[in-house]
Amino acid sequence: MANKIDRVPVREQAPKVRATNFEEVCYGYNAEEAQLEASRCLNCKKPRCVDACPVGINIPAFVHQVLDGDFKGAYDTISQDSSLPAICGRVCPQETQCEGSCILGVKGQPVSIGKLERFVADYNQEHPEKDTSEIQYSEAHHNNFRERIEERRECIRQMRSGFVKREGDAAVKVAVIGSGPAGLACASDLAKLGYSVTVFESLHKTGGVLTYGIPEFRLPKKAVVEKELDKLKALGIKFETDVFVGRTVTIDELMDKEGFKAVFVGTGAGLPLFLGIPGENLNGVFSANEYLTRNNLMQAFSKESDTPIFRAKKVCVVGGGNVAMDAARTALRLGAEVTIVYRRTEKELPARAEEVHHAMEEGINFQLLTNPVEVLGDENGWVRGIRCIRMELGEPDESGRRSPIPIQGSEFEIETDALIVALGTKINRLIADTTPGLETDRKGRLLTTETATSRKGVFAGGDVVTGAATVILAMGEGRKAAAAIHKYLTES
Amino acid sequence: MFKIVDKKQLTPLIYSLWVEAPRIAASAKPGQFLIVRTGENGERIPLTICDYDTEKGTVRIVVQIAGVSSNKICHLDVGDCLTDVAGPLGKPSDFMEIPEEDLKGKRYLFVAGGVGSAPVYPQAKYLHERGAHVDVIIGARNKDLIIMEDEMHNVCTNLYICTDDGSKGEKGVVTLLMERLGNKYDMCVAIGPMIMMKFATLTAKKLELPITVSLNTLMVDGTGMCGACRVSVAGKTKFACVDGPEFNGYDVDFDEALRRQTLYRTQEQQANSEAGLEFRR
């Protein structure tokens, strides 16, 4: 039977080799591997994976198109709901979303949905014109699924006809502020609807966190991010970089003077949090944002780049999320011996399972149940170490996670030349402060009802509304906002 | 792209450029700054706004060759483009919030160190045009670092010049002139090298003169995202790019700010020597 086979392993760079380079860690599936893996899908009547996907991709449909060898069709299916499949296939926390709800995961390993999505996106990137329906099937059991695939295809056709219709008026201008996942998803849907969309970005490159935050070894910039962005440009979306909305131009000016009928705010949660402990401004303490921006956006790892990056022998990273893993693995590749300091246990690490696994494989040390209480400096004000305290887990807090409690008298020192702080981010209040009538909560998050802010014609989504979250959640919100903007523009 | 429409060499190491940037020209205010990048591998460096022309859609920057990136900018000619110019960044000067009629007759003392004359100019001009009494001290190591003397004359009542070596104006440092002028001002604004702002603040304290300083910290994005620019102000961590760049001088931990500026000095010196650039620190 089709489903008795194990999950098809994905090929990766060997840990020792990849620890010294910035090339992508995971090679992804080839066509045969993808088709074999796709054959594991049970094609459930009520697919839980679709419900668990923040953008509701019709996962069983595309998986069976892969099995069918119809890679182009699979791409079309995914594209119905996702503007950036090559990116999501790489950075989504699949284990808590689609794969986490896959029925096969109850007793064994779930279908490798993320890797299949990535394969479909990469394959279509590499074979833009080729009709893949002629490809020979590598597995005979495809016949068992033919009937259901036909059903799915009909369903897709219906969805597509409902969506792609260009109901929007090309003369209506919509501004999207921020070119990260939320903004790109929103811009993409609006452009497909036929609106004239301009995306404003404060940095010199588009992509937001995809460009400045997530490292090359996890998300290649030229081969993946830029290609996905090119596809959005081909939809007619205009991008204007070096525009910091709130300073360069205000939302009022965009609407009153430049004629934008609606605005989407997807500016993210950009301001890094620091520790609030003594010594945090010593030389050698960095936010993960700074460290990653220097390396990813400014390419400081390359000799060609004019931007410097601090080269330390020993680096500590505090935090346990994806950003902490990215910073740690970047420092490792720049030649440091790296320790991650996290106050809960391995089980609570908020990072994607794959990133933690990769970090451990690459030789990153983990000091768990540990929290820094002071950064120690030498006589010239450079970091020489951190003083930490051991923690134990107490009762669950409001997030449902057991809250860490310091163990009195357990303080100890870790020698390090640099400390990278990856404890999350907060919201830049600039947009709220420069846009009259835009309401926020105490933390500066924009208040919205169905993505509409308190200001008429202004919508928002992604981290600027939710606080720091994931790429795919931001994309989901961006898409919802696009639908709300379309409704607003057609009804007003 | 941001085309250079005018270029002048002010001294052997300092250049003035007018650059096409209509959005910035329309929104720039005294006290704010820009981030400029040259070439695909270029660094993002913060530069002060020296002047802006809303009608022509241009902004003026003044750059001193101090490293690889500023050297690249100064080697561009009229017709060439800066790859990126982002801004205006940071908060406008505090006096922008004072109603114009209240500025009339207010007494301001500006202290400009070296290229600090460039950001002082639009502030002095704004206040002078609104009837404030503006005195300006320009100080530098030597005459080759004194810039914009004539333009400054037009926007102030009294202009005082001093150099460390006496090659122009009075021999001595800016604090000597500050002490001599004494406390006859409502407000002092000092912009220049961090070390100069530190001593200007100490002198202002002695004179019981309120002082604003504009911090030229390390920066990457300039929009609050990286925190490279953080400084301790009244014991709290602030970001110079979004909370500043101007702060009450009394509250700034200058020793920390001076130390943080040296973070990449080794790499900068290595890059300079590879590029054949030599500077006196």
* pLDDT band at A24; cut points 50, 70, 90: very high
Residue B105 is assigned to a structural domain of this protein: yes
Identify the weakest region by mean pLDDT among A40-44, B158-162, B195-199: A40-44
**pLDDT the model gives residue B153:** 94
Measured in degrees and rounded to the nearest 5, phi and psi for residue A187 equal -60, -40
Say which amino acid occupies B84: D
Residues B70 and B98 in one domain: no
Determine the Cα–Cα distance for residues A263 and B125; give it in Å rounded to an integer. 36
| Total-model pTM | 0.90
The whole-number average pLDDT for the span A2-20 is 85
Determine the Cα–Cα distance for residues B200 and B189; give it in Å rounded to an integer. 9
Contact A281 B237 (CB under 8 A): yes
Residues B132 and B110 in one domain: yes
**pLDDT the model gives residue B280:** 55
Which candidate from B27, B231, B239 shows the least CB-CB separation from A248?
B27
| Contact criterion met (CB below 8 Å) for B184 and B157 | no
pLDDT reading at A156 higher than 80: no
**pLDDT the model gives residue A141:** 45
Residues B207 and B194 in one domain: yes
Residue B245 is assigned to a structural domain of this protein: no
- Between B195 and A149, residue with greater pLDDT: B195
Interface check for B83 against chain A (CB to CB < 8 A): the answer is yes
pLDDT reading at A166 higher than 70: no
**pLDDT the model gives residue A81:** 87
Interface check for A306 against chain B (CB to CB < 8 A): the answer is yes
**pLDDT the model gives residue A371:** 96
Residues B85 and B110 in one domain: no
**pLDDT the model gives residue B274:** 85
What is the total count of domains within chain B? 2
Preceding amide of B245 cis, omega within 30:
yes
pLDDT reading at A1 higher than 70: no
Contact A212 B242 (CB under 8 A): no
Residues B129 and B203 in one domain: yes
Which candidate from B26, B223, B259 shows the least CB-CB separation from A244?
B223
Angle at B51 between CA B47 and CA B55, to 5 degrees: 125
Contact A430 B224 (CB under 8 A): yes
**Which residues lie across from B259 on neighbouring strands?**
none
Residue B266 is assigned to a structural domain of this protein: no
Contacts of B92 in chain A (CB under 8 A): none
Contact A241 B84 (CB under 8 A): yes
**pLDDT the model gives residue A159:** 45
Most confident of the following: A90-104, A142-156, A367-381: A367-381
**pLDDT the model gives residue A89:** 93
Contact A307 B220 (CB under 8 A): yes
Residue B221 is assigned to a structural domain of this protein: no
Which of these three, B190, B214, B238, is where a domain ends? B214
pLDDT tens for residues B32-77? Answer: 999 999 999 999 999 999 999 999 999 999 999 988 899 999 999 9
Residue B111 sits in a domain whose CATH number is 3.40.50.80
C-alpha A147 chain-centroid distance: 35
Interface check for B260 against chain A (CB to CB < 8 A): the answer is yes
Burial category of B154 from C-beta neighbours within 10 Å (exposed 0-12, middle 13-18, buried 19 and up): exposed
Contacts of B221 in chain A (CB under 8 A): 202-203, 212, 293
Residue B260 is assigned to a structural domain of this protein: no
**pLDDT the model gives residue B177:** 94
**pLDDT the model gives residue B269:** 86
* pLDDT band at A167; cut points 50, 70, 90: low
Residues B106 and B198 in one domain: yes
Interface check for B268 against chain A (CB to CB < 8 A): the answer is yes
Residues B66 and B103 in one domain: no
Contact A289 B225 (CB under 8 A): yes
Interface check for A128 against chain B (CB to CB < 8 A): the answer is no
Determine the Cα–Cα distance for residues B239 and B260; give it in Å rounded to an integer. 13
Residue B58 sits in a domain whose CATH number is 2.40.30.10
Angle at A105 between CA A70 and CA A112, to 5 degrees: 30
Contact A248 B23 (CB under 8 A): yes
Q: Rounded to 5, what percent of chain A is helix, strand, coil?
A: 40, 20, 40
The whole-number average pLDDT for the span A32-53 is 91
- Rg of chain B's alpha carbons, rounded to an integer? 18
Say which amino acid occupies A461: G
Interface check for A141 against chain B (CB to CB < 8 A): the answer is no
Interface check for A290 against chain B (CB to CB < 8 A): the answer is yes
Residues B194 and B153 in one domain: yes
Interface check for A249 against chain B (CB to CB < 8 A): the answer is yes
pLDDT reading at A154 higher than 60: no
pLDDT tens for residues B97-138? Answer: 999 999 999 999 999 999 999 999 999 999 999 999 999 999
Sheet holding A337-341, edge to edge: A285-287, A418-421, A314-318, A337-341, A365-367
Determine the Cα–Cα distance for residues A446 and A429; give it in Å rounded to an integer. 9
Quote the minimal CA–CA distance from B178 to chain A in Å: 31
Which candidate from A212, A302, A306 shows the least CB-CB separation from B42?
A306
pLDDT tens for residues A437-491? Answer: 999 999 999 999 999 999 999 999 999 999 888 899 999 999 999 999 999 999 8
**pLDDT the model gives residue A147:** 54
Interface check for B23 against chain A (CB to CB < 8 A): the answer is yes
Which of these three, B214, B230, B264, is where a domain ends? B214
pLDDT tens for residues A292-326? Answer: 999 999 999 998 999 999 999 999 999 999 999 99
- Give the residue on B whose Cα is nearest the Cα of A381: B259
| Contact criterion met (CB below 8 Å) for A265 and A434 | no
Determine the Cα–Cα distance for residues A61 and A152; give it in Å rounded to an integer. 6
Interface check for A308 against chain B (CB to CB < 8 A): the answer is yes
For residue B197, give its domain range: 94-214
Quote the minimal CA–CA distance from A263 to chain B in Å: 18
Residue B120 is assigned to a structural domain of this protein: yes
| All residues at 6 or more sequence positions from A4 whose CB lies less than 8 Å from its CB, including other chains | none
**pLDDT the model gives residue A151:** 52
Residues B210 and B142 in one domain: yes
DSSP SS3 for A413: strand
**pLDDT the model gives residue B281:** 47
Which of these three, B67, B89, B111, is where a domain ends? B89
Interface check for A305 against chain B (CB to CB < 8 A): the answer is yes
Residue B256 is assigned to a structural domain of this protein: no
Residue B272 is assigned to a structural domain of this protein: no
Residues B84 and B102 in one domain: no
Determine the Cα–Cα distance for residues A344 and A403; give it in Å rounded to an integer. 8
pLDDT tens for residues B210-245? Answer: 999 999 999 999 999 999 999 999 999 999 999 999
Residues B80 and B139 in one domain: no
Mean pLDDT over each residue of chain A, to the nearest integer: 89
pLDDT tens for residues B106-116? Answer: 999 999 999 99
| All residues at 6 or more sequence positions from A440 whose CB lies less than 8 Å from its CB, including other chains | A427, A429, A432, A446, A447
Residues B72 and B106 in one domain: no
